[in-house]
């Protein structure tokens, strides 16, 4: 964890609690902090799995902090206050804020000012801040990743006991099947309770032994992280460049394993129904696995997340060719419709 943060922060091993993957670790933190019906503010769009991981068994609630494309989906203090006030008016107790940094699905990192705003906000309202930093070593271009741990050390008036970090080896080291999740909390009570609860999702001794041996090889880890970042950057640049040639723009991202595509111009009309229709066509006819923005609770229509890192170069070629053919056919149909005589247009609309 110190290595992927460039040695800019130190972690106390006694505050680390291991659990069965990031999924189990995130649920454990919610169990530690919230009672039945309590809520957490989560900037949207957010990881769709949160609806399962954070709510199913804990019976906690998620209140969305709405972000939009006008400022590249950055979370603002105003948006946080609106969501907090909404919860108060509904007589819902807010226990904290949860963010993913770098973001899933956006692939962007939080800047220093935004992180300080978040810390100040939770300090003022005496609520918790949970930072999921599972993609921290996937940054492939500027700006660099800033951990909430750095902000905690920099800010003079910070209630450290309100800050908690989630981590895993599944993204940074490509080891999702090993089910190694980590809770790092500055709160002594949370550390004790999480350690007690970890008995229900232990990481096996064999797994820990193997990973300890692997991570102790610092030369290997350094080379792996550098090569992984390099390959992600090359793949991201190639993928977005080809999409741009097709007239498809993406949010300017710098981390993660996905891009946030803007397909608004391909919608038949500005409704979520039209977004789902477009998604079904892409899934069933174009044969590409993408995720619609509505599944990430974004308020704007036409955004889609596509993963670019979990395939070889030949598969990328196939995927890009399919997208190109799909967009080309849509553009051709639009041109044909414009060129049609009025009677033929009416007939096609009836059909």
Q: Which of 166, 22, 179, 194 is nearest to 98 (CA)?
A: 166
- Angstrom distance (rounded) from CA 176 to CA 315: 21
Which one of 30, 167, 171, 282 is the catalytic residue? 171
- And the tokens for 330? 């849509």
Q: Provide the total of helices (H) and of strands (E) in the chain, helices listed first.
A: 11, 11
Could you tell me whether strands 249-250 and 258-262 are parallel, antiparallel, or unpaired per DSSP bridges?
antiparallel
| Catalytic residue list contains 171 | yes
User: How many CA atoms does the CB half-sphere of 83 hold within 13 Å?
Assistant: 26
Q: Which of 192, 253, 204, 242 is nearest to 45 (CA)?
A: 253
Kind and range of the H or E element at 167? strand 163-168
Q: Pairing mode, if any, of strands 258-262 and 303-307?
A: antiparallel
Distance of CA 42 to the CA centre of its chain: 11
Residue 311: how many other CB atoms lie within 10 Å? 13
Count the Cβ atoms, other than its own, within 10 Å of residue 8: 13
Please tell me which residue in 30, 98, 100, 134 is annotated as part of the active site. Answer: 134
Q: Which of 38, 53, 132, 262 is catalytic?
A: 132
Q: Round to whole Å and give the CA distance between 45 and 242.
A: 25
Q: Which of the following is catalytic: 30, 38, 46, 47?
A: 47
Does 132 qualify as catalytic in the annotation? Answer: yes
Distance set, CA 8 to CA 2, 149, 154, 174 (Å): 7, 9, 11, 23
Q: Is 134 a catalytic residue?
A: yes
Q: Which positions are catalytic? A: 47, 132, 134, 171
């Amino acid at each position: 964890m110190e290595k992927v943060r460039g040695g800019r922060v130190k972690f106390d091993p006694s505050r680390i609690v291991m659990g069965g993957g990031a999924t189990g670790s995130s649920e454990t933190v919610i169990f530690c902090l919230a009672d039945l019906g309590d809520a957490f503010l989560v900037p949207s769009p957010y990881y769709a799995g949160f609806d399962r991981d954070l709510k199913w068994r804990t019976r906690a609630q998620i209140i969305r902090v709405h972000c939009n494309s006008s400022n590249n989906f950055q979370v603002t203090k105003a948006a946080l206050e609106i969501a907090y006030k909404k919860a108060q008016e509904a007589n819902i107790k807010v226990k904290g804020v949860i963010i993913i940094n770098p973001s899933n699905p956006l692939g962007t990192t939080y800047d220093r000012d935004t992180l300080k705003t978040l810390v100040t906000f939770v300090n003022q309202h005496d609520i918790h801040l949970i930072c999921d930093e599972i993609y921290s070593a996937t940054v492939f271009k500027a700006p660099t990743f800033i951990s909430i741990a750095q902000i905690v050390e920099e800010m003079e008036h910070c209630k450290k006991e309100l800050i908690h970090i989630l981590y895993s080896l599944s993204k940074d080291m490509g080891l999702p099947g090993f089910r190694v999740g980590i809770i790092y909390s500055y709160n002594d009570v949370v550390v004790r309770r999480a350690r007690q609860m970890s008995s229900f999702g232990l990481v096996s001794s064999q797994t820990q032994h193997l990973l300890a041996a692997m991570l102790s090889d610092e030369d290997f880890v350094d080379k792996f992280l550098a090569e992984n970042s390099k390959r992600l950057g090359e793949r991201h640049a190639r993928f977005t460049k080809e999409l741009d040639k097709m007239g498809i723009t993406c949010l300017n991202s710098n981390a993660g394993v996905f891009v946030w595509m803007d397909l608004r111009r391909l919608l038949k009309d500005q409704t979520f129904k039209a977004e789902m229709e477009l998604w079904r066509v892409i899934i069933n006819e174009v044969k590409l696995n993408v995720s619609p923005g509505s599944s990430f609770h974004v308020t704007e229509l036409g955004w889609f997340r596509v993963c670019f890192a979990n395939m070889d170069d030949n598969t990328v070629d196939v995927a890009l060719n399919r997208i190109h053919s799909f967009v080309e056919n849509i553009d051709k149909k639009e041109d044909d419709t414009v060129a049609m005589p009025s009677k033929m247009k009416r007939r096609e609309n009836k059909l």
